[in-house]
Amino acid sequence: MKIKSVNLETVCGITSKLPNNAHPEFAFAGKSNVGKSSLINAFMNRKSYARVSQQPGKTQTINYYNINDEMYLVDLPGYGYAKVTESVKVQWGKMIERYLKKSPQLKVVFLLIDIRHEPSANDKQMYDWILANGFEPIIIATKSDKISKGAAQKQVALIRKTLKCVEGSTIIPFSAENKSGLEDIYSIVDEYLSMNDEA
């Protein structure tokens, strides 16, 4: 995949109507401090288009990035951030659920998990939620540069076991620092775009 153009086209808040997009959508979900903005910037080949914050929980909207005028990268609100009220967490949850249920162009949900840690209860809940809405999430195990290759293999096995992944589920170790894993993510997106063109 070659990134030719990127445009933050739509930002949806809690009460916003979801856009009726003409192009396929690829959604990215993950905990607030999992490195989602860094991955999105790497995917878009931009240094700081998606805001990387030292304060987790900053993404409180659904952000639609139009890429090459052929697809949308959809940045979902980070979950599991402790310093917001329960009512805000519930609203974010409803917003994500509404998106998963009502977006006809959604093709794939990428779920980001920090490779260094066992998935949390929030991660497990999100994984199950995505499955319940008819999608088999592709796991991106972020921050893979922080541990050795041997440790990474063990952690991938732990992620698979803790989430009780569907047999054959894809887990991609990824590093925003050295871009390892990025080509695998591009390949998955390209495959869906090709299927969409054929259809």
pLDDT at 169: 94
| Number of C-beta neighbours around residue 67 at 10 A | 21
Query: Dihedral angle at the C-alpha atoms of 27, 32, 35, 38, nearest 10 degrees?
Result: 70
pTM listed for this prediction? 0.91
DSSP string, 132-193: HTT--PEEEEE-GGGS-HHHHHHHHHHHHHHHTPPTT--EEE--TTT-TTHHHHHHHHHHHH
- Band (pLDDT 50/70/90 cuts) for residue 107 is very high
Q: What is the mean pLDDT of residues 29-55?
A: 80
Rounded to an integer, the average pLDDT of 45-55 is: 64
Q: Average pLDDT of 161-186? A: 96
pLDDT tens across 81-93, in order? 656 667 766 777 7
Q: What is the mean pLDDT of residues 20-48?
A: 91
Gap between the Cα atoms of 141 and 108, Å rounded: 16
Average pLDDT over residues 4-15: 90
- Tell me what the mean pLDDT of segment 122-133 comes to: 92
Q: Where are the alpha helices (DSSP H) in 16-120?
A: 36-44, 86-102
User: What type of residue sits at position 43?
Assistant: F
Say if residue 51's pLDDT is above 60: no
Q: What is the mean pLDDT of residues 95-119?
A: 93
Q: What is the pLDDT of residue 54?
A: 47
- pLDDT band with cut points at 50, 70 and 90 for residue 127: very high
Pairwise CA distance, residues 144 & 146, whole Å: 5
DSSP state of 36: H
Task: For residues 174-183, give the mean pLDDT.
Answer: 96
